[in-house]
Amino acid sequence: MDKDLVGHRKRLKERFEKSPSATPDYELLELLLGYVIKGKDVKGEAKDLMKFIDGNFNKIYQKDILQLSGIGNETKLFFEVIREFYRRMNLQIVKNDLKTIKSPSDVFDFFRFSIGLDNKESFVALALNSAGNILEYKMLFNGTVNFSQIHIREIVEFAIKSSATSIIVAHNHPSGKLTPSSEDIIVSKKIEDALKLVEINFLDHIIVSTTGALSMLKEGYLRR
């Protein structure tokens, strides 16, 4: 490797070690790219990537970064590994802290880190007992969510088999938008009506993304 390049990367790492939070975004990307693109100066690729994602790191996973010159499959895989590591690390922290669910916000982070970072849409259910403790968690659908493919019967069966007194469902919006669609509202009403027949409370339908979470109950989309 060229001595000038070795010296440049050494200086980048030293600046980062001295003050990680002061590292410019493009230099952070440059450091990361240096671990996967070997033997060349990647400052140009880092700046091009920053421009391509509009300075928003989340867009690395929302846009096709393979369109960029110098960015190949190994780089894309590298970022996917980073995201999965981040997801699992935070989910472990959330699970350890999550004891009793008293409000929708108590499970925002749980759903964000279980499905909110996924590129594909997922629909999940959480079964709770009368004390608000989690009994069971189940992925009901993973892919492109078409609510006609989500069978209300499966949710009811899951609730009964887990001996739940209450159910919370959630799904993610990979687009990042948290506003419920008309289908979100319709399927929520169907779930609520079906669970009511077997005397199980439908507590909430939560929508999550990489940027946050929304409680359909809190925002007035569900009746109480």
- Any idea what the CATH number is for the domain that residue 145 is in? 3.40.140.10
Domain that holds residue 200: 99-215
Which of 43, 63, 88 is the endpoint of a domain?
A: 88
pTM recorded for the entire structure = 0.82
**In this structure, is residue 222 part of a structural domain?**
no
Cα-flanking dihedrals φ and ψ of residue 62, to 5°? Answer: -105, -20
Q: Angle at CA 102, nearest 5°, toward 96 and 103?
A: 105
Query: What pLDDT band is residue 5 in, cutting at 50, 70 and 90?
Result: confident
Residue 9 has pLDDT above 60, yes or no: yes
How many percent of the chain have pLDDT more than 90? 74
Query: What pLDDT band is residue 207 in, cutting at 50, 70 and 90?
Result: very high
Query: What pLDDT band is residue 100 in, cutting at 50, 70 and 90?
Result: confident
DSSP character at residue 61: T
Residue 146 has pLDDT above 90, yes or no: no
**In this structure, is residue 220 part of a structural domain?**
no
**In this structure, is residue 189 part of a structural domain?**
yes
* Mean per-residue pLDDT, 1-12: 80
Residue 175 shares a structural domain with residue 203: yes
Q: How many domains does the chain have?
A: 2
